[in-house]
Amino acid sequence: MKIVIRESADEASKIAADHIIERATPGMKLGVATGSSPLPLYKYLREARKAETFSLRGCTAWALDEYVGIAEDHPERYRNVLHRELVGDEATGLFDEDLHTPNGLAENPDAAAAEYDREIGAGVDIQILGVGQNGHIGFNEPLSSLSSRTHVDVLTDTTRQDNARFFENNMDLVPTQCITQGLGTIMSAKDIVVLAFGENKAEALHQLMEGGVSQRWPATILQHHSSVTVYADEAAVANLELLDYYRSTSG
Ligand code: GLP
């Protein structure tokens, strides 16, 4: 695992965007996250598209997760969030039909989850990941199987509380269930970019990098992946035990 530390989320995101731009290949499969962490990175990808140094035209994008039962036109439906950030010539050049998200409106969400997992196939080329305060990735909450595939899950109160900011600050409006790529599905990505910003991620990042691998902190499974780069700001690295060493070796 590598870590790149910068003063601000914006500076770290610029380098994370360069990571993706340098490794992009025609027709690649890009795994995309929601939440606030990837937003500056997406801004830099759009800028690169404008400067004609990057494009997702002809590539496919694969969401990590989706709320179950959220209205089709709800602005916080992850499909709609990712559409706004990435789709179209004004964004990254991605075609709408190349944006793949789990079908949270399916009559049978379990079948939709299995179908999504089949579509992902052997895994994406580059996966962008945020981390929940409680160490979740995608929506794999504590006690998720470390080898799980895409499945329906129940959100913890911590996560619903965290996400209430997207739902009029009212936790009761946050859906209770989701379809999420499993930890095994996420681990099938060839390359993984983790974004961790802010002091409320400090403990999750400490566990992700230095804790024992355990279902209690699902992100710790990333220690078993051979190509993970963490992009963090100063606030998020506050709890790292070997911080001086990482600074001396990081880019
Ligand atoms: C959300 C998403 C995750 C995201 C995480 C962190 O609930 N399902 O994919 O990475 O929580 O969110 P944020 O980046 O807003 O802190």
Determine the distance separating the centroid of ligand 1 and the alpha carbon of 25, expressed in angstroms.
26
What is the mean pLDDT of the segment spanning 46-58? 98
pTM of this prediction? Answer: 0.97
Residue with CA closest to ligand 1 atom 3: 138
Question: What is the average pLDDT across 74-102?
Answer: 98
Mean pLDDT of the chain: 97
pLDDT in tens, 132-150: 999 999 999 999 999 999 9
| pLDDT band, very low/low/confident/very high, at 250 (cuts 50, 70, 90) | confident
Mean pLDDT, rounded, for 158-163: 92
Q: At residue 48, does pLDDT exceed 80?
A: yes
Residue 40, both tokens:
């500056």
CA atoms of 11 and 24, how far apart (whole Å): 20
What atom of ligand 1 comes closest to residue 155's alpha carbon? 7
Is residue 43 pLDDT above 70, yes or no? yes
The pLDDT of residue 164: 96
The percent of residues in the chain predicted with pLDDT above 90, rounded, is: 98
Rounded to the nearest whole angstrom, what is the distance from the C-alpha of residue 132 to the centroid of ligand 1? 5
- The verdict on the CB of residue 153 being under 6 Å from ligand 1 is no
For the chain, percent helix, then strand, then coil, each to nearest 5?
40, 20, 40
For a substitution probing ligand 1, which of 136, 140, 179, 230 has the most ligand atoms within 8 Å of its CB? 136
